[in-house]
């Protein structure tokens, strides 16, 4: 036992410490009580009121004062706008004599912290109804998602769901039931039994206020025995294209024609495309090689496959993965199928990845091959971006324009483009990432050489050349020669640089000298056409190329402008000019804008962006104001000092080139 002397000495200290601890505990407890956060709970955030109206109460549980926010509904009145602690919010509703239910949203909020609950109050119509579009359905043994259309004016939160199984020992296989505004949704799990099973899903609304009225409907769901799925439901392409990304757990299929067999080197490898009679397409791929002939009619099962996406040249497309030979339910030749024949102006977003045939088409610049690269760059690793495809502009007789895309892996890409007119069949795509910049709203990819059914002879085209500069190697002229006449058209027509001092055999400030351009159909290993392209190194805002002394007298049909251009890139901040404007004039003083365009730079070593392996061809429709005139002028105006690299051009010293220039008119 503790010594009494020491006990008396420490006892006051013990009581003192205990008192302090008790005091601190009291203070801390009070502090916690003072700092306690607002609490707010309500008994029902989705109350439903009968059509005949009346009073309704919502229980509120809180540790502080609360109030009701503004309610924008003349048919609903608030009897108390707030309270403190636990209580009730009391409301009264007018009668609803309308056919449709009505609802209003409002908030209950604590005064101090602003904690809240959103309330959605719904008043039923005077004549509530509930009808399912189907009352019987048979489903496969595999897991499935189901959606049944629901027609009702009863809010979904007021509809009760009951499931009755024919055999209790096989219950619980209808799961995930939800009632939404216009649909009943549920899933069925896999049936592993050797017999079918049946369930009844009942929807009902009980609180009608009239015992003689029954508001309910039901659907009988029969699930097949294990391994006995029924035939797939055929869906249209619009339905499939509207499905969300992820697994397809519906027993569905499509019927269409195979327009891409997955073997073309001018599109994504192992990508098959099936197309319906409305030119809507679905892309799919397989882990195995599927054998199709072009335009085969195929019945394709989609159940169990996956909807994913892929990117090609910047554009994103949907694709169905996991298709194999077992998914091909039927396949037969279809000699009656042919892609829709359209003009370019007929194309819409619905045509993406479909194969169409463009009518009355010409190559805007009928020179060179399907690709006009500098072939040296094709072999360089740093030039992959710049040489993976080439855009050749095409036109139709109505004035539509777009680009024909040819990949560098295409075997026939260096063959000469046909010079006449005809049809062009191919895959409608978007190109949003290209070394060649903006390639328009849509482009087209031929999948086979036979897709290009254009007459080889210029005489069989729908247009004539008014004037054209398309030089072969040109030498032997004296330095300072003021003009080189066009290769086709009036000899006095001029194509020059502003403030130019003439043509030279070498690089001269403010002079034009002829340098390389590229034509893919040139025989041999390289594609260089030496001394054939205009080259000028004096640029800046307000400088320009200009065509003059060209008459359109007697021409009353559409005019089009074609030119081929590039600026020279640089490893520094310099480089050739990027931004230009096409303009026209009838007097040389008053200029009118037609269209703005941008140039990319020609490859410089180790550059992989903003560069091409050659020149880009542009084509634009010219205004009818230029028809039947004694002299028209066209200029390509450098609008600012921005270079192809995004920096500032060097003045002087920045270089830009012009490889082709022509004006054509419809016959």
**pLDDT value of residue 27:** 40
Per-residue pLDDT tens digits for 545-559: 999 999 999 999 999
**pLDDT value of residue 102:** 87
239/512 Cα distance (integer angstroms): 59
Question: Is pLDDT of 103 > 90?
Answer: no
Q: What is the mean pLDDT of residues 306-324?
A: 94
Between 608 and 548, the more confident residue is 548
- Least confident interval from 163-172, 336-345, 632-641: 163-172
**pLDDT value of residue 466:** 98
Strands (E), 74-115: 76-78, 82-84, 87-93, 102-110
CATH number at residue 85: 2.60.40.10
Q: Are residues 473 and 453 in the same domain?
A: no
How large is the C-alpha radius of gyration of the chain? 38
Domain presence at residue 242: yes
Question: Is pLDDT of 212 > 70?
Answer: no
DSSP conformational letter for 353: T
122/396 Cα distance (integer angstroms): 59
Taking the CA atoms of residue 402, residue 408, residue 412 and residue 413 in that order, the dihedral angle to the nearest 10 degrees is 50
Question: Is pLDDT of 425 > 60?
Answer: yes
Highest mean pLDDT pick, 139-148, 161-170, 476-485: 476-485
Is there a contact between 426 and 407 (Cβ–Cβ < 8 Å)?
A: no
Question: Is pLDDT of 486 > 50?
Answer: yes
Which residues is 301 bridged to in the sheet?
Answer: 253
Number of residues in the chain: 667
Q: Are residues 492 and 518 in the same domain?
A: yes
**What Å distances lie between residue 252 and 292, 305, 565, CA to CA?**
21, 10, 51
Q: Are residues 309 and 373 in the same domain?
A: no
**pLDDT value of residue 21:** 43
Average pLDDT over the chain, rounded to whole? 88
**pLDDT value of residue 583:** 98
Q: Are residues 622 and 573 in the same domain?
A: yes
493/484 Cα distance (integer angstroms): 9
Which residues is 122 bridged to in the sheet?
Answer: 48, 103
**pLDDT value of residue 213:** 62
Q: What is the mean pLDDT of residues 197-207?
A: 88
Domain presence at residue 33: no
Domain presence at residue 25: no
Q: What is the mean pLDDT of residues 162-190?
A: 87
Q: Are residues 504 and 610 in the same domain?
A: yes
Per-residue pLDDT tens digits for 429-466: 999 999 899 999 999 999 999 999 999 999 999 999 99
Q: Are residues 239 and 282 in the same domain?
A: yes
Which of 371, 297, 356 lies closest to 519, judged by CA? 371
Question: Is pLDDT of 526 > 50?
Answer: yes
**pLDDT value of residue 507:** 86
303/329 Cα distance (integer angstroms): 12
Last residue of a domain, one of 332, 355, 379: 332
**pLDDT value of residue 573:** 57
**Into how many domains does the chain fold?**
5
DSSP string, 491-540: TT-EEEETT---EESS--TT-EEEEEEE-TTSSSS--EEEEEEEEE----
CATH number at residue 507: 2.60.120.260
**pLDDT value of residue 143:** 64
Q: Are residues 350 and 384 in the same domain?
A: yes
Domain presence at residue 341: no
Q: Are residues 289 and 305 in the same domain?
A: yes
275/537 Cα distance (integer angstroms): 51
**pLDDT value of residue 14:** 37
Per-residue pLDDT tens digits for 51-73: 888 888 899 999 999 899 888 88
- Least confident interval from 134-138, 273-277, 477-481, 649-653: 649-653
**pLDDT value of residue 29:** 45
Q: Are residues 308 and 172 in the same domain?
A: no
Question: Is pLDDT of 170 > 90?
Answer: no
Between 460 and 610, the more confident residue is 460
Question: Is pLDDT of 93 > 70?
Answer: yes
Name the 3-class secondary structure at 139: strand
Q: Are residues 624 and 519 in the same domain?
A: yes
Q: What is the mean pLDDT of residues 587-616?
A: 86
Share of the chain above pLDDT 70, in %: 91
Provide the domain limits for residue 351. Answer: 346-459
Between 22 and 658, the more confident residue is 658
Between 525 and 307, the more confident residue is 307
Q: What is the mean pLDDT of residues 506-519?
A: 92
143/251 Cα distance (integer angstroms): 10
- Least confident interval from 36-40, 311-315, 510-514: 36-40
Domain presence at residue 391: yes
Domain presence at residue 638: yes
Question: Is pLDDT of 564 > 50?
Answer: yes
CA 341 to chain centre: 24
**pLDDT value of residue 30:** 42
175/145 Cα distance (integer angstroms): 10
Is there a contact between 491 and 485 (Cβ–Cβ < 8 Å)?
A: yes
**pLDDT value of residue 16:** 42
Q: Are residues 406 and 521 in the same domain?
A: no
Exposure string of 582-592, with b = 16+ CB inside 10 Å and e = fewer, is bbbbeeeeebe
The residues, ordered by sequence, that sit 6+ positions from 471 with a Cβ below 8 Å of its Cβ are: 484, 487, 514, 529, 531, 532, 533
Cα 369–Cα 375–Cα 381 angle in degrees, nearest 5: 130
Q: What is the mean pLDDT of residues 355-377?
A: 95
DSSP conformational letter for 206: -
Last residue of a domain, one of 223, 244, 271: 223
Confidence grade of residue 13 (pLDDT, cut at 50, 70, 90): very low
For 413, phi then psi, to 5°, come to -65, -20
Last residue of a domain, one of 123, 153, 177: 123
Domain presence at residue 15: no
Count of CB atoms situated within 10 Å of the CB of 344: 22
Burial (Cβ within 10 Å: 0-12, 13-18, ≥19) of residue 255: middle
462/155 Cα distance (integer angstroms): 64
Q: Are residues 655 and 536 in the same domain?
A: yes
Domain presence at residue 17: no
Highest mean pLDDT pick, 161-175, 271-285, 499-513, 572-586: 271-285
Q: What is the mean pLDDT of residues 362-373?
A: 97
Per-residue pLDDT tens digits for 251-294: 899 999 999 999 999 999 999 999 999 999 999 998 788 999 99
Between 122 and 428, the more confident residue is 428
433/443 Cα distance (integer angstroms): 12
């Amino acid at each position: 036992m503790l010594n009494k002397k020491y006990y008396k000495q420490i006892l006051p200290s013990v009581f003192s410490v205990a008192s302090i601890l008790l005091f601190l505990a009291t203070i801390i407890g009070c502090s916690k009580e003072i700092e306690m956060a607002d609490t707010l709970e309500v008994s029902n955030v989705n109350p439903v009121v009968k059509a005949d109206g009346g009073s309704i109460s919502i229980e509120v549980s809180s540790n502080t004062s609360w109030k009701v926010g503004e309610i924008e509904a003349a048919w609903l009145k608030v009897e108390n706008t707030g309270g403190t602690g636990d209580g009730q919010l009391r409301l009264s509703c007018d009668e609803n004599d309308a056919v449709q239910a009505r609802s209003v949203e409002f908030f209950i909020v604590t005064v101090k912290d602003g904690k809240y609950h959103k309330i959605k109050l719904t008043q039923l119509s005077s004549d509530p109804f509930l009808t399912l579009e189907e009352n019987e359905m048979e489903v496969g043994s595999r897991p499935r998602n189901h959606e049944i259309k629901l027609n009702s004016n009863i809010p979904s939160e007021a509809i009760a769901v009951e499931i009755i199984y024919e055999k209790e020992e096989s219950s619980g296989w209808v799961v995930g039931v939800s009632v939404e505004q216009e649909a009943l949704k549920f899933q069925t799990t896999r049936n592993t039994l050797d017999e079918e099973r049946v369930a009844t899903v009942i929807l009902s609304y009980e609180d009608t206020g009239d015992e003689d009225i029954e508001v309910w409907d039901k659907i009988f769901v029969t699930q097949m025995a294990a391994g006995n799925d029924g035939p797939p439901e055929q869906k249209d392409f619009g339905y499939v294209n509207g499905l969300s990304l992820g697994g397809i757990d519906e027993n569905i299929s499509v019927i269409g024609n195979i327009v891409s067999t997955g073997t073309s080197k001018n599109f994504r490898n192992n990508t098959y495309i099936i197309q319906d009679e409305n030119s809507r397409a679905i892309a799919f791929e397989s882990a195995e090689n599927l054998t199709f002939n072009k335009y085969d009619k195929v019945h394709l099962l989609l159940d169990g496959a996956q909807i994913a996406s892929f990117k090609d040249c910047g554009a994103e497309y949907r694709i169905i993965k996991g298709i194999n030979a077992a998914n091909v339910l039927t396949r037969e030749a279809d000699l009656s199928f042919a892609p829709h024949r359209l003009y370019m102006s007929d194309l819409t977003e619905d045509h993406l990845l479909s194969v169409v045939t463009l009518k009355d088409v010409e190559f805007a610049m009928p020179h060179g091959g399907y690709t006009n690269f500098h072939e040296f760059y094709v072999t360089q690793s740093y030039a992959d971006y710049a040489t993976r495809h080439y855009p050749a502009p095409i036109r139709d007789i109505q004035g539509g324009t777009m680009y024909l895309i040819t990949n560098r892996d295409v075997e026939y890409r260096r063959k000469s483009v046909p010079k006449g007119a005809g049809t062009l069949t191919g895959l409608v795509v978007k190109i949003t990432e290209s070394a060649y910049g903006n390639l328009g709203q849509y482009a087209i990819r031929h999948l086979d050489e036979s897709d290009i059914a254009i007459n080889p002879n210029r005489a069989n085209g729908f247009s004539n050349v008014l004037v054209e500069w398309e030089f072969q190697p040109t030498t032997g002229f004296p330095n300072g020669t003021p003009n080189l006449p066009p290769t086709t058209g009036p000899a006095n027509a001029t194509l020059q640089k502003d403030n130019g001092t003439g043509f030279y055999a070498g690089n001269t400030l403010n002079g034009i000298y002829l340098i390389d351009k590229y034509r893919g159909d040139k025989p041999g290993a390289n594609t260089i056409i030496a001394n054939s392209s205009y080259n000028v190194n004096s640029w800046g805002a307000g400088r320009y190329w200009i065509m003059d002394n060209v008459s359109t007298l007697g021409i009353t049909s559409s005019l089009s402008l074609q030119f081929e251009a590039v600026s020279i890139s640089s490893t520094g901040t310099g480089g050739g000019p990027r931004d230009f404007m096409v303009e026209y004039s009838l007097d040389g003083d008053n200029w009118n804008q037609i269209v703005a365009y941008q140039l990319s730079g020609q490859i410089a070593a180790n550059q992989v962006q903003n560069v091409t392996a050659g020149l880009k061809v542009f084509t634009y429709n010219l205004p009818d104001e230029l028809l039947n005139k004694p002299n028209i002028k066209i200029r390509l105006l450098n609008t600012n000092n921005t270079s192809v690299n995004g920096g500032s051009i060097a003045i002087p010293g920045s270089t830009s080139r012009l490889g082709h220039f022509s004006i054509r008119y419809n016959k």
